[in-house]
Amino acid sequence: MKNKSHNPVVDRLTDRLLDAGFHKEQIVTEEILRTCYGYDATRQSAAPLMALLPENELQVKTILKLATEKNLKIFPRGAGSGMSGGTIPSSDGIIISLTRMRRIIEIDEANMIATVEPGVVTGELQEEVGRYGLFYPPDPASLAFSTIGGNVTENAGGPRAVKYGVTGNFVKGLEAYLINGEKITCGNKCVKSVSGYDLTSLLVGSEGTLAVITKILLKLLPAPESVKTSLLAFSSMTAAAHAVNAMFKHQINPSTIEFLDHHSLNAVRSELPFTLPDATDTVLLVEIDGSAAQVENQNLKLKELFKDAALLLIAAQDESEREQLWLARRKLSPAIANIAPHKINEDIAVPLAAIPEVIAKLEKLSQKINLPIVCFGHAGDGNIHVNVMLDKSDPDQAERGRTAIDEIFAITLKAGGTLSGEHGIGNTKSAYFDKEWDPLTIAVMRAVKKAFDPDNRLNPGKIFPAESSSSEPAARGN
Ligand SMILES: Cc1cc2nc3c(=O)[nH]c(=O)nc-3n(C[C@H](O)[C@H](O)[C@H](O)COP(=O)(O)OP(=O)(O)OC[C@H]3O[C@@H](n4cnc5c(N)ncnc54)[C@H](O)[C@@H]3O)c2cc1C
């Protein structure tokens, strides 16, 4: 017997989906379960009308056709690890969760291309291609649980972006369904291709607002033969930033250059395998990969270049020391929670040369608002994770935190930076979007959105500043 909800629209849709071959467990209608599909890492949550769990592209098509018939909104979703509210639904919309579409369809060794469904977990793909001696470099810190579909639509990046680039640099092609249930195909396996508008790149970073991605072609590389991680300690952020610049100038090409400011260091100092000199203010974690000879040669150069400028330069001697270094970096986010009960986290990116100036301004801001601002992130690509630490239950601190965000974005944009290096705009930064882009540029972007989704039914309320309240998601944050 079919379970009935208290909503006739949901009941009619459920009947149609069951008739179309969906199994009961693919149709989530109970409120408590629906809510499980309406949260993300911003801690917002909202119960959608229903959540649907398609297992193949035909089922995606069926859902979109039915939603179009009923004029319902659609909110695509991967693992829900997004940091900008990109997947938060409204109460009158359907969540379409892609996590059951998790087949690695093909690993084409000859062309070095993997074809995958969107629900494949990033780390699982990396492991699988590793078995073929191949390498998929994008490494968001969430790789153990985030999906390739989510990575593509957020254009996710990680520490290795310095050398290899972000997810978008590896997307060769896509298959995607438009909101009306029609399929488009973009890109191909060719190394070069200049044939019409590059829709693949347009869909990368589109935050689920243009189409539902059902198949992805990803470029692979030969796996590096060797990798070595070093820790460099500096007496100031400026000295560390100059060191990054010097590495590039001297043709040292690390795969990763991560930085930890003094607040971050204090949070994980005890986790590091090395004792830091007392004068240490900023630490760089530098990883070099390639053939054994290249790694050896580049590390010699690194030692020579910083033998005087760094307070300490020490390389991990074995895999366990290397893992300990990275563990400390990965523990950073939870470790800073000891500083204050809450954090407001932004992921601004600035041109490399602007890093010291921006960090200095953030220090001043921290003094002005009397709240700690912890900075760490990807020194090699200018992507700084800025964490305002506060107790939101104190109304005064909460207000100072809100002011801080306005100022952080103002400092960033003045320095030629951008609101987001990797987490996207979603619904958390949409109010600031028109501070970064001029009205005509936004109008062109809105026209693109309209071409894909004329009735604004696909993931409404994301990226663009609100025009009317009716399409805003009914989310609650904390
Ligand atoms: C602990 C932690 C660490 C993180 N570290 C990083 C990091 O280092 N780098 C980084 O870039 N991000 C990081 N993130 C953020 C997040 O993991 C990434 O944005 C990731 O790409 C989201 O993937 P997801 O599968 O969770 O997508 P979701 O959060 O479910 O969705 C993200 C967006 O993609 C859309 N979407 C998902 N799948 C599809 C699809 N098939 N078709 C169309 N639209 C779709 C959704 O509508 C939404 O707008 C981190 C998050 C956490 C919690």
Does pLDDT of 380 surpass 50? yes
pLDDT value at position 477? 42
Does pLDDT of 403 surpass 80? yes
pLDDT value at position 3? 56
CA of 209 to the centre of ligand 1 (A): 14
Enumerate residues 6+ apart whose C-beta is below 8 A from 355: 237, 241, 244, 379, 382, 384
Share of the chain above pLDDT 70, in %: 97
298, 332, 366 - which closes a domain: 332
Atom of ligand 1 nearest to the CA of 143: 17
Residue nearest to atom 9 of ligand 1 (CA): 140
Does pLDDT of 478 surpass 50? no
- CATH number of the domain where residue 48 is located: 3.30.43.10
CA of 411 to the centre of ligand 1 (A): 26
Does pLDDT of 470 surpass 50? no
Question: Is the same domain home to 203 and 237?
Answer: no
pLDDT tens-digit readout, 86-96: 999 999 999 99
Atom of ligand 1 nearest to the CA of 213: 42
Give the residue-averaged pLDDT of 240-247. Answer: 91
Q: What's the CA gap between 130 and 270, in Å, rounded?
A: 32
pLDDT value at position 101? 98
Q: How confident is the model at residue 474 (pLDDT cuts 50, 70, 90)?
A: very low
For the ranges 201-215, 296-310, 456-470, the lowest mean pLDDT is seen at: 456-470
- CATH number of the domain where residue 168 is located: 3.30.465.10
Give the residue-averaged pLDDT of 280-293. Answer: 95
The finding on whether 179 has its CB within 6 A of some atom of ligand 1 is no
The finding on whether 79 has its CB within 6 A of some atom of ligand 1 is yes
CA of 352 to the centre of ligand 1 (A): 25
For the ranges 118-127, 352-361, 367-376, 455-464, the lowest mean pLDDT is seen at: 352-361
Give the residue-averaged pLDDT of 278-306. Answer: 95
The finding on whether 430 has its CB within 6 A of some atom of ligand 1 is no
The finding on whether 141 has its CB within 6 A of some atom of ligand 1 is yes
Residue nearest to atom 28 of ligand 1 (CA): 80
Is position 460 within any domain?
A: no
The finding on whether 153 has its CB within 6 A of some atom of ligand 1 is yes
Between 356 and 425, whose confidence is greater? 425
pLDDT value at position 328? 86
pTM of structure: 0.94
Give the residue-averaged pLDDT of 3-7. Answer: 73
CB of 418 within 8 A of CB of 349?
Answer: yes
The finding on whether 154 has its CB within 6 A of some atom of ligand 1 is yes
Q: What's the CA gap between 333 and 336, in Å, rounded?
A: 6
Is position 2 within any domain?
A: no
CA of 423 to the centre of ligand 1 (A): 7
CA of 259 to the centre of ligand 1 (A): 23
Is position 471 within any domain?
A: no
Structure-block tokens of residue 83:
């940091």
What mean pLDDT is reported for the chain? 93
Question: Is the same domain home to 323 and 243?
Answer: yes
The finding on whether 82 has its CB within 6 A of some atom of ligand 1 is yes
Q: Which of 60, 64, 77 to mutate to test the pocket of ligand 1 (most atoms within 8 A of CB)?
A: 77
Give the residue-averaged pLDDT of 52-62. Answer: 98
Residue nearest to atom 19 of ligand 1 (CA): 82
CA of 87 to the centre of ligand 1 (A): 9
Does pLDDT of 471 surpass 70? no
CA of 79 to the centre of ligand 1 (A): 7
Is position 316 within any domain?
A: yes
332, 350, 384 - which closes a domain: 332
Chain-centroid distance, C-alpha 207: 10
Does pLDDT of 356 surpass 90? no
Residue nearest to atom 44 of ligand 1 (CA): 208
For the ranges 61-65, 93-97, 123-127, 259-263, the lowest mean pLDDT is seen at: 259-263
The finding on whether 40 has its CB within 6 A of some atom of ligand 1 is yes
Does pLDDT of 272 surpass 90? no
Question: Is the same domain home to 179 and 243?
Answer: no
Question: Is the same domain home to 164 and 134?
Answer: yes
Question: Is the same domain home to 138 and 246?
Answer: no
CA of 96 to the centre of ligand 1 (A): 15
Does pLDDT of 339 surpass 50? yes
Question: Is the same domain home to 328 and 230?
Answer: yes
The finding on whether 461 has its CB within 6 A of some atom of ligand 1 is no
The finding on whether 81 has its CB within 6 A of some atom of ligand 1 is yes
Is position 282 within any domain?
A: yes
For the ranges 54-63, 263-272, 299-308, the lowest mean pLDDT is seen at: 263-272
Does pLDDT of 57 surpass 60? yes
Does pLDDT of 476 surpass 50? no
Is position 302 within any domain?
A: yes
Give the residue-averaged pLDDT of 432-460. Answer: 97
Does pLDDT of 371 surpass 80? yes
pLDDT value at position 340? 93
Question: Is the same domain home to 88 and 109?
Answer: no
CB of 409 within 8 A of CB of 440?
Answer: no
Does pLDDT of 466 surpass 90? no
Residue nearest to atom 53 of ligand 1 (CA): 81
pLDDT value at position 338? 85
| Cα atoms in the Cβ-side hemisphere of radius 13 Å centred on 336 | 25
CA of 131 to the centre of ligand 1 (A): 25
- CATH number of the domain where residue 276 is located: 3.30.70.2190
Question: Is the same domain home to 328 and 338?
Answer: no
pLDDT value at position 15? 96
For the ranges 2-11, 137-146, 358-367, the lowest mean pLDDT is seen at: 2-11
Question: Is the same domain home to 248 and 151?
Answer: no
Atom of ligand 1 nearest to the CA of 159: 8
Give the structural domain span for 36. 8-97
- CATH number of the domain where residue 394 is located: 3.30.70.2740
191, 222, 253 - which closes a domain: 222
Question: Is the same domain home to 314 and 346?
Answer: no
Question: Is the same domain home to 257 and 288?
Answer: yes
Question: Is the same domain home to 179 and 265?
Answer: no
Is position 477 within any domain?
A: no
Does pLDDT of 110 surpass 60? yes
Q: How confident is the model at residue 467 (pLDDT cuts 50, 70, 90)?
A: confident
Between 477 and 356, whose confidence is greater? 356
How many domains are there within the chain?
Answer: 4
Q: How confident is the model at residue 327 (pLDDT cuts 50, 70, 90)?
A: confident
Q: How confident is the model at residue 329 (pLDDT cuts 50, 70, 90)?
A: confident
Is position 430 within any domain?
A: no
The finding on whether 147 has its CB within 6 A of some atom of ligand 1 is yes
